[in-house]
Amino acid sequence: MRWKEIAAFLLLAALWGASFLFIRIAVPSLGPFPLMAGRVLLAAGALWAFGAARSRPIVLRPYARRLLILGFVHAAAPFALIAAAEMHLTASMAAMLLAVQPLFVMLLSVLFLGDLLSAARGIGVLLGLLGGVLVGWSPAGLDAPALLSAGAVLLGALLYAAGSLYVKHRMWGTPVLTLALGQQLGAAAWLLPPALLTAPGASVRADALAALVALAVFSTAAAYVLFFWLIGRVGAVRTATVPYAIPVLGVCWGALFLGEPLTPGAVAGLGCILLSLALVNHGSGTALRRVVPLPAPEGKGNRVLEIGL
């Protein structure tokens, strides 16, 4: 990756790392579905305003059905699962569990797309998982609700992985703002009904509302513009290594704003994660590219998609 992609990668990790902090602050007051419905609606408004300010029309209709699928798989379902999980898990534990997402991306690629992976990248994935465990693991015992919550985060990670590959293989060539805005609107269609049924009756705390706005604007609207841009530049598998850095950044956000201590595990985990990123992103990826024919508009022949791993 070049410096521009590396900078976007690190910024995306910081924004998504902060999302666990924002969710942890807001979900006890708002509840999982209202919080996530507010997240995607506010993010959609921010993305629409961004497109309007740049005088760029955002075309949604031709992609409507695929955006509805993407909104469920890559936003509504994992958002709700993680928010519900953080009712019982710490933000750092949720972030640590999400570090399995790159492994899920690679496994899905191998099982369903026939992709091959080098030994170096396989080792890199394992190191990234080890780094996430070292950073986020807590010696505290896990009761039944916490174990179910951990399972919910892992399911969310699997859905994120599937969504990443869906974007790369089914929505290649779609404009970034169309993907970002369309995903939020698609997610809103799924989240609004349960959000209305579970809306909080009592007054909502001001810090919860502030966390919701930050979650929507920074960790959703801005983050997904970066995310879809990175998929187009470096591929779904490389972009999916972002969660490796999230546990470390999540711990740093907690130390800065919640007074949580930095543990030796965080330092050791950071070393594993940095080495993992170097291995997974090593080389140009030419040896692991597959050429896939894609249907083109009528009369224009097929397009060719190179999938960089």
Average pLDDT per consecutive 10 residues, the chain (309 residues; last block may be shorter): 83 90 93 97 94 86 95 97 92 78 78 70 72 60 79 92 88 89 97 95 87 96 90 76 73 71 66 70 44 41 33
| pLDDT for the residue 309 | 28
| pLDDT for the residue 302 | 37
- CA 273 – CA 248 distance, rounded (Å): 9
Burial class (CB in 10 A: 0-12, 13-18, 19+), 189: middle
SS3 294: strand
- CA 185 – CA 60 distance, rounded (Å): 10
Contacts (Cβ under 8 Å, ≥6 apart) of 211: 21, 22, 23, 25, 26
- CA 298 – CA 258 distance, rounded (Å): 56
| pLDDT for the residue 123 | 77
